[in-house]
Amino acid sequence: MDLQKIGMKFFAGDGNTINLVDFIPVFHRWIQGDALGHLLIDVADYSHVHDGPGIVLVAHEGNYAVDETGGRRGMVYYSKREPAEDIQKCLAVVCRRVLRACRLLEQEESLGGPLKFSGNEVQIFANDRLIAPNTDQTMKILEPALTAFLDGLFPDNPYRLEQEKDPNERFSVTVRAAEPVSIETLLERVGE
């Protein structure tokens, strides 16, 4: 499967009470300071959308967002362009980018409170319904690549995959590891 439009969301543990619009100046500083090491373009405010995309940081290769889809806040990155030649490498690139953003937000002092992300729960989704419809067949095709990637992300930490079953939603799996793991540890495992 030639899937390149992949996204990941790491869920916020602490920090769910931070007002969404407080992330706007943070993202603008990231643009001005080239904080993520690739072309960051603009910030879009969707804080008015209930359980929506929140605050989006538009980048050339993909978009970042403090996202509230599904009623759960988290940091999202999804690729728009081909970041790697195969799906496992694409997963690693996407994971590295979202984890770097998580780390920067955890270190951000201007948010008025602590913000921590749970490293043992991640949602991985396909942002291309044509190539990867939300079906059992897609899961069957993608599961070997997902498992190979996740075995490296969560070594010696049993995890389970839960596929989104609503056929009207995009293909996604939520991964839950048994033991807590820090964002820093995950970054080391994906080659920070």
- The reply to whether 1 falls in a domain is no
Q: What is the pLDDT of residues 98-133, one digit of tens each?
A: 999 999 999 998 987 788 999 999 999 998 888 888
Q: What sign does the CA torsion over 3, 5, 190, 177 have?
A: negative
Q: Where are the alpha helices (DSSP H) in 35-182?
A: 87-107, 136-153
For residue 42, give its domain range.
6-189
Q: Average pLDDT of the chain? A: 91
- The reply to whether 170 falls in a domain is yes
C-alpha span between 157 and 186 (Å, rounded): 12
Tokens 């996202």, residue located: 67
Looking at the structure of the chain, the number of domains it has is 1
Q: What is the pLDDT of residues 148-191, one digit of tens each?
A: 999 999 999 999 999 998 888 999 999 999 999 999 999 999 98
Q: What is the pLDDT of residues 53-96, one digit of tens each?
A: 999 999 999 999 999 998 999 999 999 876 557 888 889 999 99
Determine the 3-state secondary structure of 184 from DSSP. Answer: helix
C-alpha span between 170 and 158 (Å, rounded): 26
- The reply to whether 129 falls in a domain is yes
Give per-residue burial for 62-78: e unless 16+ CB within 10 Å, then b.
bbbbbbbbeeebbbbbb
